[in-house]
Amino acid sequence: MLPNLTHPRGYVGLLALLALIVVPFAFQSSFVYHLAVEVCVFGALATAWNIVGGFAGQLSLGHAVFYGIGGYVATLLVAQFGISPWIGMFAGAAVSAVAAIIIAYPTLRLRGPFFALATIAFLEVCRLLTIHEESWTGGSSGQNVPLNIGLKWMIMREKWAYMLVAFGFLVFTLWISWLIRRSRFGFYLIAVREREDAARAVGVNAVAVKIAAAIVSAMLTSLIGSFHAMYLTFIDPSSAFSLDLSIQVAMFALIGGLGSVAGPIAGTVLVLPAAELARGWLSAFGNGTHGFVYGVVLVLVVLFIPRGLVGHLGAAVVRIIDRLPGARREAPAVADIALKAVPVERGTPILVAEHLHKRFGGLVATDDVSLTLHAGEILGVIGPNGAGKTTVFNQLSGFIHPDTGAVKVRLADGSWALPHRPDEFARHGVGRTFQIAQPFAGLSVLENIMLGAFMHTASREQAEAVAREVAVLTDLTALLDVEARSLTVGGMKRLEVARALATRPTVLLLDEVMAGLNPADIARAIEMVRRIRDAGVAVLMIEHMMQATMALSDRIIVINAGRMLRDGTPSDVVNDPQVIEAYLGTGYRDAQAA
């Protein structure tokens, strides 16, 4: 898939890229050609790093290990076996992919700085191994690249030829980054970066997508490292496996704007030429000046534009571009597939929890809780604070594993599944919201809902069409282009519901969806829940708004001290003496009587 070059965003971006090669040809200077090569190389490296560091939010401070692997594998294959670097660079990419799996598989299952620390450790190990294996790597003295002139060997006499090849690597890396950002995979990476639990609730296997991002980033970095070694015609451990290089590449992405396609190249174009020019003009007197330039720019960005150049200025630039001829796009037609789950006869059990027990140390949070949700039903769960409702709720969606007991979900063919992880529950038809709304703040309302729709759609266009239908159901159509962070509390609550509905669930778990809302939003939420039930989705809701719970629920379960206290119709529950004593109080009974 290629960008639409007839749209202003496409051709303006292409023109900006072409300036990187047009300007050097205008100067006809070896230094300017060299500077253009370095901009293309480091822009590509920053773009590759951004896939794991920006899109996925996993800090890789030893990312130069993949650059070094690519450079050394390509160089050694040329020197030892006479294999063209155009072939050797793919061998290096394969080795880098294996290295990425070794680093990422154990560390990205954990939250915290473990991945960053592992990349630094692996970088140092590779540097020491390269120094130690002097017989074939050249040790600390490094390795010269055989000077076989010709495109086959990636060794050219003219700087402009290198510049064209480097530009090709940059365009390829940007294209891969653009494809990822627009794809389901890219949306999942951003979701994991912003709110991993919310991502898991819409069916994202967080560990798998983070590992995949690390592999793609490592392979691209390795390819670029192979070319750069041929360009420099020399490689040594201290420069190939350099912590400084890793930090420099990450800094370019940070200055330009993490998580954006254009950010890494924008940061490189801003900083690298200024640093190289300062180093060239000041010569020996300015030794280390490039580091000073990097530091000054980084401090200014952190203080005044913490979201980077693209994050701070990108929206304004896009608005200007979108005023150009040909920018207007028609919204896709609304789909009619969002809630087409396989019909289940009303009253059929579709979610069953059996004898759930959960203990946290000496605290018994769930004590032999069993419940059944039927198709076409709204089941309310009430109880005092600390009664164990949220623990039960999290067990019903896979976020907490019961010590004993099981949760079963009815599948379309009538069989029962026993999911364990949140993403498995989501794929088996259990959608959920969170007590404290967890929108993906950096994405628009439309993109938030699309994250849920991707589970059952084959393309971005289908996901967008489903999202627009769900927006109608949840009163969000007018807000589709608004950033999620700008919504009111009521809007965020409805967005949580919409995102869950876009997964096409048969069961929707609502966790205090009316908490903190004003009366108008509560009335809107009540109507929304009824529309959802009428669309064929069974609803289980935890709610402290008793009037709403009584008005909506077909059946109510009362939990107290981790145990089931009552299960019955609203009228039976509200008049039960035990329920009144434990939760409602005599004031509620008197108000109902009045």
DSSP code for 540 = E
Residue 497 covered by a domain = no
Distant-in-sequence, close-in-space partners of 5: CB < 8 Å, separation ≥ 6: 11, 14
Q: What is the pLDDT of residue 286?
A: 55
**Which of 194, 219, 242 finishes a domain?**
242
41 within some domain: yes
Q: Does residue 173 lie in a domain region?
A: yes
Whats the size of the chain, residue-wise?
594
My answer on whether 410 and 526 are in the same domain is yes
Q: Are 236 and 363 within one domain?
A: no
| 321 inside domain | no
Does 3 fall in a domain?
no
Among 188, 213, 242, the domain boundary falls at 242
Domains in the chain: how many in total?
2
**401 in a domain, yes or no?**
yes
What pLDDT shows up at residue 426?
93
DSSP letter string, 357-424? EEEETTEEEEEEEEEEEETT-EEEEE--TTSSHHHHHHHHTTSS--SEEEEEEE-TTS-EE---SHHH
CB atoms within 10 A of CB 576: 18
DSSP 152: G
Tokens of 533: 């039930």
| Residue 359, domain CATH | 3.40.50.300
Write down the pLDDT at residue 410: 93
Domain that includes residue 418, residue range:
349-435+505-593
Residues 50 and 181 in one domain: yes
> Phi first, then psi: what are they for 296, rounded to 5°?
-60, -45
The pTM of this model reads 0.87
Query: 3-class secondary structure for 228-291?
Result: HHHHHCEECHHHHCCHHHHHHHHHHHHHHCCCCCCHHHHHHHHHHHHHHHHHHHHHHHHCCHHH
269 inside domain: no
Nearest Cα neighbor of 204 from 438, 531, 414, 444 is 438
Q: Residue 154: left if φ>0, alpha if ψ -120 to 50, beta else—which one?
A: left
Residue 506: the pLDDT is 92
pLDDT beneath 50, residues of the chain: 337-338, 340
Residue 393 tokens read as 């709720």
- What pLDDT, on the 0 to 100 scale, is given for residue 520? 86
In a domain, 384, yes or no: yes
Question: Among residues 242, 266, 289, which one ends one of the domains?
Answer: 242
Following DSSP, what letter does each residue of 453-487 receive, concatenated? HGGG-SSHHHHHHHHHHHHHHTT-GGGTTSBGGGS
Average pLDDT score, the chain: 87
